[in-house]
Amino acid sequence: MSAILNIASKIYGRVLDTRNVLYDYAVFRSYKVPVPVISVGNITLGGTGKTPLVAYIARLLAEAGERPAIVSRGYRREDENSLVVVSNGEKIIEDPSVTGDEPLELALDLKGSAAVVCDADRVRGSVYAIERLGASVIVLDDAFQHRRIRRDLDIVVIDAGLPFGGRRTVPGGRLRENLHNLARADAIVVTRPEDSEDLEALRSELSDLNSDAPLFVCRSRVQSIETVWTSEDRQPDPDTTFFVFCAIGNPKSLLAQLEREGFAIAGSRSFPDHHTFTQDDIDEIEGQARAAGADALLTTGKDAVKLVDKRFGIPCCKVKSRLVIDDETALKSLLKSAMDLSEDS
């Protein structure tokens, strides 16, 4: 079986390489929209901490006086080919089946700062955001491989704990395309450095793959614990023991972060990425939490948007994190350069 997967991975990688060459030589057309486009993407499958970086960048742009709009595919929503305005910056569609969980999380987190549009056709979604929502800059969520739209800044996120996806493309590994394609990135952001076995060796290899791209290191820190549901007489306090549940790409990293920051964790339960929770799931999780001696449940913002119609018997909270970039000044300068370059072209 491994030999078959290895052959399939090589074939898939070559197909993607050929596709990239066809874009490089304009055989496949890329479309330019009339405002700057900043892409944040991955070269591997699974969670890398990309979505928090998308929010972080959109917030920086808003603080600089821009009107950012995030354009996302909206993975695992009911109709990924439809165009949905998740948020116009203020009004939000709070239905994850229509929007997808990550776009809705972004819309709630960035209310008042950024619009959010879902469309598998990023060109169409971007044009809509510009013409109908007044966007002055587009932030593409998960679009490193979506080359139909030209971008002024291509940022690739690398998870330090699982940086190269087994060094094979799917289905034998977790790479979305061969590693040498990192050469087209304009910047690389390494997340979760605490999970790296050798961060300096990773830096060195990334430099070998792309010596021109500035490399940033990004750390996640817990900003607050917010209540999703609780009864009046059962508010969580600083000594609360939590049972963690989530449906994200890298649950081990979340647990490690919470333990590093001193949270008391009685146990945990993980589900496949983007899982839609049922009431039976919640009832089962609560039973496991009680058996483990937990006082409350704790989940992520991405998962919390899918819990609004669920019933709880014990308090349920969500963790809100903030990003710390090793050189925010340099990142702001890079964003400004991309904006200025687009205006000049």
Domains parsed from the chain with CATH numbers? 2-219+324-344 (3.40.50.300), 221-322 (3.40.50)
Cα angle: 180, vertex 151, 147; to 5 degrees: 55
pLDDT, residue 16, reads: 96
Q: Report cis status (omega within 30 of 0) of the bond before 171.
A: yes
Alpha-carbon gap, residue 277 to 318, rounded angstroms: 15
**10-residue mean pLDDT series, the chain (345 residues):** 86 96 96 97 90 96 97 93 96 95 96 97 98 98 96 97 92 95 98 94 97 97 92 75 96 94 96 96 98 97 95 94 94 94 65
Measured over the CA atoms of residue 207, residue 161, residue 242 and residue 53, the dihedral's sign is positive
pLDDT, residue 343, reads: 65
Alpha-carbon gap, residue 224 to 320, rounded angstroms: 5
pLDDT, residue 231, reads: 77
Long-range contacts of 200-208 (CB under 8 A, 24+ apart): 202/158, 202/160, 202/163, 206/158, 206/182
Measured over the CA atoms of residue 85, residue 89, residue 93 and residue 95, the dihedral's sign is positive
pLDDT, residue 277, reads: 97
Neighbour-count burial of 99, counting CB atoms closer than 10 A to its CB (0-12 exposed, 13-18 middle, 19+ buried): buried
pLDDT, residue 330, reads: 97
Alpha-carbon gap, residue 342 to 36, rounded angstroms: 5
pLDDT, residue 239, reads: 86
pLDDT, residue 341, reads: 72
pLDDT, residue 157, reads: 97
In the three-class reduction of DSSP (H, G, I as helix; E, B as strand; rest coil), residue 101 is classed as helix
pTM for the model: 0.94
Q: How many CA atoms lie within 13 A of 297 on its CB side?
A: 29
